[in-house]
Amino acid sequence: MQRGGKGKTPRRPALKKATNVEKDPVGVYCRIRPICAEDEECCVEMISSSTIQLHAPDGLKANRNGEYKETQYSFKRVFGINTNQTELFEDVAKPLVEDLIRCKNGLLFTYGVTGSGKTYTMTGSPGEGGLLPRCLDMLFNSIGPFQAKRFVFKPDDKNGIEIQSQVDALLERQKRDSQQSVPKTPSSRQKADPEFADMISPEEACKCESVDEDCCYSVFVSYIEIYNNYIYDLLEDAPFDPIRPKPPQSKILREDQNHTMYVAGCTEVEVKSTEEAFEVFWKGQKKRRIANTQLNRESSRSHSVFTVKLAQAPLDADGDHILQDKSQVNASQLCLVDLAGSERTSRTRAEGSRLREAGNINQSLMTLRTCIEALRENQMYGTNKMVPYRDSKVTHLFKNYFDGEGKVRMIVCVNPKAEDYEETVLVMRFAEMTQEVEVARPVDRPIYGLAAGRRQRNQAFKDELSRRLEERGGPSNADDPVLLNQLIDSLPALPPCELVDPADDQTLPRLIEVLERRQHIRQMITKQVNQTANTLKSMLQQFDSQLSAKETFLHDQRSKLSEKDKVILNQKSEIERLEKKSKTLEYKIDILQKTTGMYEQDKRSLQQELEGREQMLQKELAERRRMEQRMQGMVTDTKYKWEKECERRVNAKQLEMQNKLWVKDEKLKQLKAIVTENSSGGSHPAEPPPKPERPSRERDRNGPQERSASPTPRPDLSQTPLSQNRVNVRAVQDRPPTSTPSSLSSYPSVASCVSDWEQKFPVDSVSQSRYPGTPRGTSRAPAPWHGASSEGRRRDAGTRTVPPVRPRHRRSRSAGGEKWVDHKPSSNLDLDTVMQPIIPNAIKVSTPNEKALSKCHKYVLRHQELASDGEIETKLIKGDVFKTRGGGQAVQFTDIETLKQECPAAPSRKRRSGSEEGPAQIEDVENRAPAGGLSSSSGYQKRRKP
């Protein structure tokens, strides 16, 4: 047995629309704004009454080939720069007002770039009223005589209209009048606003002829704005708290029982005239958000929606009162939308709140384009793509119009300036795509089944009754039932007139008696009336005589009054002119106050930013002072450290020079002993020379000398130990002989003695220099000298060979066939040396990276540091590159090569391990060829501590 599937929540069945519903495309009109300057370049050209042509301005290439590309766009109608507001209203808005009176909804919105004339088209200016005031004027001219009294129609806060009786409406009117806190609705009997009166001239006024006279009408208006994708009510009278002012609260969108979107909690004001409606509009216009930008001095920063709702209900069968049936009440609305202009922040240079406003405006307009594209795709290709109405408040509010709830009209405003060419092209593409969207045509709604002409018949009956009563001389209010009832009650009552028997002779006589009495009373009343009439006639004649005298007096007074009236008319015209000027100045003051407020806000934000930057600057200055103090401390510490180091090196050098001097003195004494021994004879063994005494170190024991601020000067080369040794040897060789010539011939010379002594006590200076790890075997006292012949000594001196100085040559590993990563930091100095570490087939980098390491097998780092003798020493730290388990590269260091540059004339600062050097070693070091650079794989040498 198969188990049933899990049940799902059933979807709400969609409203099925008839397939044979007639559809009309969205009416798109184009209006071209006049150019401000005559010499300004224009990029829009009007070809015909329905076509315009766009051409790229000079300096702008429209395609990749560099040629100018001209495009044409068609509309339902194009209005040129000479089109006035009346022509635009006759073609675009007048049909929508006629449909509004016929219970059909309508939507009219303006679209375009910032500064293209959208607000002017919708609102207008003094002397040139826009679409909004003309729509209101036409509506009230059409339904003016048929309007219901106030509060007969009442909104139910659910996008519906309730109907009240005359008594309830009267009570509510009295209640509103008694409440002083509630602002009263302006009366239509007040004098017209001079600024609004100049917008529409009496010659331009129009009305709808097909108005149902058997209905009563009432007009409700509301005004909202959509700012930063939030809805605000511009007509809401929120209480102002000066201590803690609250920002206006945003409204939400809801759906009524007919699936129509509306703004919940929006204020709807009942108006009875054009002036009253425009006054309400002007009240909300002052609250609308506008700002000064680079492209427009008064740029709209929000989308404004002015809704005109017309409620109508039929009269009863008598044509006297409204039919008390809510189902027979119909409400239609006309939405006049002024969309904010799209703009590029690169041109407006918007920042802060202006930048956020521009982003929200462009986002809402982009959502509108997306919805239009989805509707067009669904209608043209039969797809069922979801239309994203909910992505923006503008599209969500008007989605019913695009789904077939009324006519949709769009006016595309174009600024032909060359700077707006790119934005104008995007607007034209959107308009061209919008014309391809079709909206269902609204049908007429049947209201009731009562006979037509009820109001006219009822009015004709009242007029005829009044005329007859006036002819009879009775009061015009003779049809008052109270007076008729009093008159009937004053007459005798009629007896019962039922005849139960043909022979009854009592009923008729009684009835005749009552009727005679009533006739007598009537004659008395008539006689009294005639007497009263005669009295009135005599009084009237008397009054006529008096009236003639009064009329002559009045004629004189009227002549005077006419003169006064002329003065009053002149004063009234002057007052109207001043009122108009005052209104204009008030509007300018409001704009300037808003602009001043925005400037003050910007000033506060800039001051806050300046204070923040000043704090950061103070903080950086304090940090800099701390850094300078720290650096000064480090400099002082380093200076003291180097002074100690210099003092230590001076002491060490002095000690070394003393040791060398002591060694030389000892050698001279030995030489002197040898010479003395040779001169005295070789029969008896030579006594060892006395051990020379080392110089006293009183100065060393006295403590450290006073430290000098200047560096130690370079020692003189003539005073080096090697030079002193040469001088001493020359002094011994050049010393005059003290013995006789005979003794000189029998004994060898001093040079031969020195040569024999060097052969007996050789010092392998070459091996020591080649192998620095081998300790030097030097002795302080020479070995005893055994005599030999001069010929043998010469033979030994001639056959003795000194090994050549051959520094160890070690081929660098970098000269192989491996691929190396040559890491040379940017801080290294280029030394002007002959031998340079040149590595062939290497990738040179200043910072090692994984890409370079993955291509090579070897790695070398050039490291420079300051050696103990003050020269720059370069070390080549080498290693092998291998891959890790994680897929990366690692380096294992294996060897270090040291490159060092030395000056052969400068004394070596390295202290030798021995304290005595022989003459042969000195001569060997003297005769060695200088090396430009030495290569060694040994580590660091230890520095002797002071």
Query: Phi-psi category of 473—alpha, beta or left, where left has phi over 0 and alpha has psi -120 to 50?
Result: left
Nearest to 251 by CA among 217, 221, 225, 269: 225
What CA–CA distance (Å, rounded) separates 399 from 437? 13
Which amino acid type is present at position 124? Answer: G
How far apart are the C-alpha atoms of 753 and 744, rounded to whole Å? 13
Q: Distance between CA 104 and CA 332 in Å, rounded? A: 6
Report which of 193, 444, 196, 148 is spatially closest to residue 310, judged by C-alpha positions: 148
- The two tokens of residue 212 are 């149902």
C-beta of residue 162 within 8 angstroms of C-beta of residue 154: yes
Instruction: At 881, list the tokens.
Output: 């590159």
Torsion of CA 595, 599, 605, 610, to 10 degrees: 170
Residues 140, 208: Cα–Cα separation, whole Å: 10
- What is the rounded distance in angstroms from the CA atom of residue 129 to the CA atom of residue 121? 9
C-beta atoms surrounding 919 within 10 Å: 20
Dihedral pair phi/psi, residue 812, rounded to 5°: -70, 145
Determine whether the annotation assigns residue 789 to a binding site: no
φ, ψ at 335 (rounded to 5°)? -100, 120
Helix (H) or strand (E) holding 409: strand 406-414
449 is known to lie in a ligand binding site: no
Task: Name which of 291, 323, 90 is nearest 216 in CA terms.
Answer: 323
In the chain, the amino acid numbered 20 is N
Q: Work out whether the CA dihedral 401, 404, 407, 410 comes out positive or negative.
A: positive
- Does residue 4 have a known ligand-binding role? no
Which residues, 6+ apart, have CB-to-CB distance to 497 below 8 Å?
A: 507, 511
Do the annotations mark residue 113 as ligand-binding?
yes
Helix axis angle for 507-680 and 750-760, nearest 10°, is 120
**Length of the chain (residues):** 946
DSSP secondary structure string for all residues of 833-902? -S-----SSEEEESS--HHHHHT-SEEEEEEEEE-TTS-EEEEEEEEEEEE-TTS-EEEEEEEEEEEE--
CA distance 551 to 95: 54
Q: Is 59 annotated as a binding residue?
A: no
682 is in an annotated binding site: no
Q: How many CB atoms lie within 10 A of CB 920?
A: 19
How many angstroms separate the CA atoms of 451 and 314, rounded? 11
How far, CA to CA in Å, does 763 sit from each of 170, 294, 795, 921? Answer: 138, 94, 20, 6
Sorted by sequence, the CB contacts under 8 Å of residue 173 that are 6+ apart come out as 149, 150, 151
What is the Cα–Cα distance from 395 to 399, expressed in whole angstroms?
6
> CB atoms < 10 A from the CB of 786, how many?
8
Answer yes or no: is 584 a known binding residue. Answer: no
Is residue 595 marked as binding? no
DSSP per-residue string spanning 45-94: EE-SSSEEEE-PPTT---STTS----EEEE-SEEE-TT--HHHHIIIIIH
CA distance 763 to 528: 178
Please tell me whether residue 121 adopts helix, strand or coil conformation. helix
Collapsed DSSP state (helix, strand, coil) of residue 804: coil
Known binding-site positions: 112-119
Known binding-site positions for ATP: 112-119
